[in-house]
Amino acid sequence: MGLAFQISIPVTRATPCVRRAALDRKHERRPRASVARASNLTSSKKTPAPLPEAVDAVFIGSGMGALTAAADLASKGASVAVLESYIIPGGSSGWFERKGFRFDAGASMIFGFGERGTTNLLTRALATVGKRIETVPDAVQVRYHLPDELDIKVHREYDEFLAGLIKRFPHEEKGIRKFYGACWSVFNSLNCMPLKSLEEPNYLLQVFAAHPIACLNLLRFIGRNAGDIARDHIKDETLLNFIDMECYSWSVVPADLTPMINAGMVFSDRHYGGINYPVGGVGRISEEIVAGIEECDGCSVHFRTRVSKILFDSMGAACGVKLVNGRTVSAKVVISNATRWDTFGEKGLVEAERVPPSEERFRERYVKSPSFCSLHMAVREKDLQVGMSEEQGMDCHHIMLDDWDEIETARDGKGTLFVSIPTVLDKSLAPPGMHIFHVFTPSWVDEWEGLSPKEYRAKKEAMLETVVARLEKKLFPGLKSAIEFSEVGSARTHRRYLGRVDGSYGPVAKKKLRGLLSMPFNRTDVDKLYCVGDSTFPGQGLNATAFSGFACAHRVAADLGIIGSLPGPIDRFLTDLLSRQRLKL
């Protein structure tokens, strides 16, 4: 990156958001809360704001990473424009409605909605723009139905979860306590410090000075993977298989490839802040953040607005974007929430000759994870032969696998099944007496290519048939005849509606890497171009991308001179040093 990047452009306007944030800090009270109503679906339906000609920051996409960064920058006084190609915000955390049902497009197991600590990043993302939404606590994060008759519930109460696991593996009690204890150690270190950009040296120095022990503890774990720590303490192969599944269920790779920092977050926050379902559906999160962004002066979110190219000035710095309709928006910085491959790949937003060598290194280390085949079903409760309420012992989330060898590889609905029944927690999502079943299973785009429309439909039907038969046999007798209607989304559907290359769930390590050390931060090697979302540190997950959003906003705010940072040359020297050291690893 050239020197031009350091030029600080003061942004002095005091928008209502800035004033509100300052007021909140002064009086140490929570920002004004607006508890969202399930029926309020207005944010993307009101009259669209005119597209601005120039802003401080232009965002490509409105996934959780972009929305968090845009909200944080807007609350700091920057003018932002968020450009989304689809008709609603949220990307993978979007939704769709059919016949009185509101389906979550992605999963409904939501981390980061706690009330305490600093890791409650979704609560915080909403709060930056004065919003808050009502949530329903989930008593069980997930119930596993696994080979070797392993039936384990991950209770919200940590001791209850541990007791169940130790009962099944009494000879491994010590190892179980040590492994999950290490996860708590990571989590507690993160949860005591403000979470901002690790590529902003001023913040790093401050956080090291204020929390030296926590920082050293994180450094101890940042280059390690969960599998290494598990194998340090546990020998039982079935238990190690279980820990692989614990990791795979959100990282889509086994424990050996799952960064320990992320495992620490997920395996502890589910018992600390808990898993909480947003009343009215997961889409409420992005709807509310959008509403909050639009309340800030000079800030707007635009739908049906696809970016075709990133524009560059004569010095080679990003300076705006061009839309598919030919219109342009100029900006002091450009922030891409599209995946790394959609930003820098062949036919990406950056033309080939400008793609920096560091992106080649990224591709040597990370590959696209598979996509999912998603089966959305409207189900009549009365036709199921199993109690569907929480009181009757029904859990909202289930994971099912028949054979350990098929955890990652089985195709055509024969591998891991993820089941989400959000109506167990929130009845407002469906008409009375009805449930929503969202079942998804790994699937690769190549399975869906080259099919005629008839073959494509037949493949979807076959997938539904296989998955429903498996669920009926093991978990939900009566399911087939209880289905009122269903919709199947393939990897092609994910690619089309989420704008994600091959419909991928996100980048995963190609080979064993040193934890999170080589995951890129938000700056790129193209001047004034940043990335945000799951192609950046710390990776997939709504709260993980919310972290990347806060980190991105912090680094951008420092680069735009909105917040203080070290003097330009020192800042640049230290940031480059850090990134060079990381890339060597």
Ligand X SMILES: NC(=O)c1ccc[n+]([C@@H]2O[C@H](COP(=O)([O-])OP(=O)(O)OC[C@H]3O[C@@H](n4cnc5c(N)ncnc54)[C@H](O)[C@@H]3O)[C@@H](O)[C@H]2O)c1
Ligand Y SMILES: CC(C)=CCC/C(C)=C/C=C/C(C)=C/C=C/C(C)=C/C=C/C=C(C)/C=C/C=C(C)/C=C/C=C(\C)CCC=C(C)C
Report how far residue 459's alpha carbon sits from residue 493's, in angstroms, rounded to the nearest whole number.
13
Q: Which is nearer to ligand Y, 305 or 545 (CB)?
A: 545
From ligand X, ligand Y, none, which one binds at residue 399 (CB under 5 to 8 Å depending on kind)?
ligand Y
Q: Residue 380's beta-bridge partner residues? A: 434
What are the angstrom distances between the C-alpha of 563 and each of 7, 174, 472, 556?
Answer: 13, 47, 56, 9
Q: Does 63 bind ligand X (CB under 6 A)?
A: yes
Q: Which is nearer to ligand X, 384 or 544 (CB)?
A: 544
Hey, what amino acid is at 457? R
Q: Does 559 bind ligand X (CB under 6 A)?
A: no
Residue linked to tokens 């008593």? 139
Q: Which is nearer to ligand Y, 263 or 291 (CB)?
A: 263
Q: Does 342 bind ligand X (CB under 6 A)?
A: yes
Q: Does 83 bind ligand X (CB under 6 A)?
A: yes
> Out of 542, 553, 556, 563, which residue is the one contacting ligand X (CB under 6 A)?
542
Report how far residue 246's alpha carbon sits from residue 330's, in angstroms, rounded to the nearest whole number.
44
Q: Is 37 helix (H, G, I), strand (E, B) or coil?
A: coil
> Out of 61, 227, 415, 520, which residue is the one contacting ligand X (CB under 6 A)?
61
CB 112 within 8 A of CB 119: yes
From ligand Y, ligand X, none, which one binds at residue 418 (CB under 5 to 8 Å depending on kind)?
ligand Y
Residues making contact with ligand Y (CB under 6 A): 107, 109, 111, 142, 190, 195, 198, 204, 207, 215, 218-219, 222, 249-250, 261-262, 265-266, 397-399, 418-420, 538-541, 543-544, 547
Q: Does 355 bind ligand X (CB under 6 A)?
A: no
> Out of 246, 395, 541, 563, which residue is the one contacting ligand X (CB under 6 A)?
541
Q: Which is nearer to ligand Y, 85 or 108 (CB)?
A: 108
CB 354 within 8 A of CB 526: yes
Report how far residue 162's alpha carbon sits from residue 173's, in angstroms, rounded to the nearest whole number.
9
Report how far residue 296's alpha carbon sits from residue 16's, in angstroms, rounded to the nearest whole number.
6
How much is the CA Rg of the chain, to the nearest whole Å?
23
Find the shortest distance in angstroms from Cβ 89 to ligand Y: 19
From ligand X, ligand Y, none, which one binds at residue 64 (CB under 5 to 8 Å depending on kind)?
ligand X
Binders of ligand X among residues 104 to 143 (CB under 6 A) are 106-107, 109-110
CB 83 within 8 A of CB 338: no
Q: Does 306 bind ligand X (CB under 6 A)?
A: yes
Report how far residue 513's alpha carbon sits from residue 257's, in angstroms, rounded to the nearest whole number.
7
**Burial label, 406 (beta-carbon count in 10 A; 0-12, 13-18, 19+):** middle
> Out of 130, 278, 422, 533, which residue is the one contacting ligand X (CB under 6 A)?
533
Q: Does 320 bind ligand X (CB under 6 A)?
A: no
Find the shortest distance in angstroms from Cβ 544 to ligand Y: 4
Q: Does 309 bind ligand X (CB under 6 A)?
A: no
Eight-class DSSP state of 424: G
From ligand X, ligand Y, none, which one binds at residue 215 (CB under 5 to 8 Å depending on kind)?
ligand Y
Q: Does 503 bind ligand X (CB under 6 A)?
A: no
From ligand X, ligand Y, none, which one binds at residue 38 (CB under 5 to 8 Å depending on kind)?
none
Report how far residue 102's alpha carbon sits from residue 123's, in angstroms, rounded to the nearest whole number.
22
**Helix residue spans in 273-329 (DSSP H):** 283-294
User: Is the dihedral angle over the CA atoms 215, 216, 217, 220 positive or is it negative?
Assistant: positive
Q: Which is nearer to ligand X, 223 or 549 (CB)?
A: 549
Residue linked to tokens 């890791």? 119
Kind and range of the H or E element at 332? strand 328-336
Q: Rule CB under 6 A: which residues touch ligand X?
A: 60-66, 83-86, 91-93, 106-107, 109-110, 306-307, 337-338, 342, 498-500, 505-506, 533-534, 540-542, 545
